[in-house]
Amino acid sequence: MPYFTTSDGTELYYSDQGAGQPVLFSHGWPLSSDAWQVELKLFADAGYRTIAHDRRGHGRSSRTYTGNDMSTYASDLAELVDHLDLTDLVVVGHSTGGGEVVRYAAQHGQGRVVKVATAGAVPPIMLKSGSNPEGTPIEALDAIRAGVLKDASQFWKDLAEPFYGANRAGSAVSQGAKDDFWRQGMLVGLAAAYDCVKAFSETDQTDDLMAIDVPIFIAQGGDDQIVPIAAAAEKSIKLVKDGTLKVYPGAPHGIYGAYQNELDQDILAFIKG
């Protein structure tokens, strides 16, 4: 298993397979690069080099107490990309990973990144405020932190339900998918899981979105119960220079099933276009 050590001594696990133009995938909270297993194979089979890392504190990477913030996540990614010397790079991020790749592309990606794709991403800012009334109330975010501290194992089981829309009538999400969400959640360090809530909800990425000067594909499920679409994709598309927005009616926050199949084909088409 390949590991890379960042400048502050954090070990990052990453997967690297296939050959061709590089496509780097960044996962959501509290998951790991395993969340992209289907895409890593599908895109490699389509002729791309596919890379995905476990964010610091998550998966098989170091269980860090410090640096669990969006700027450090993006800096870690920049160091990994530099280490692998990736150019003509496409970055793809889901949820928190969407925030990570947006900040990376805006602040570190010049000369390397040629396209950005996000799905259910947290930018521009998730927290509800007077200027962002569509966002998530701080009380709901505090409840997430309390749940993680009280009984993380049960919290991941509970969170999988709205994450995949399993609490909706007619949901076809499998028990296996929910079990795998729990499995990945149990690998995250508690400090990283706790601190990441602030990172994904309170980081204002308005300037990052405005700074991106390459094409960006912004996707979000129309029934996303985790990241409010009115505070996320619908605002992000108005801030970017060269963006395409696609909303998937009825789709949840988690990438699964028919939504996953359609999204993957759309991203492949976006890269080729």
Instruction: Mention every residue, 6+ apart, whose C-beta is less than 8 A from residue 135.
Output: 125, 126, 127, 128, 129, 228, 231
- Residue type at 271 in one-letter notation: I
* Residue among 46, 54, 124, 53 nearest 84 (CA): 53
76 exposure class (CB count in 10 Å sphere: 0-12, 13-18, 19+):
buried
Q: Which residues are catalytic?
A: 95, 224, 253
Q: Is the dihedral of CA 98, 101, 106, 111 positive or negative?
A: negative
What is the rounded distance in angstroms from the CA atom of residue 214 to the CA atom of residue 196? 27
Residue 69 tokens read as: 């913030």
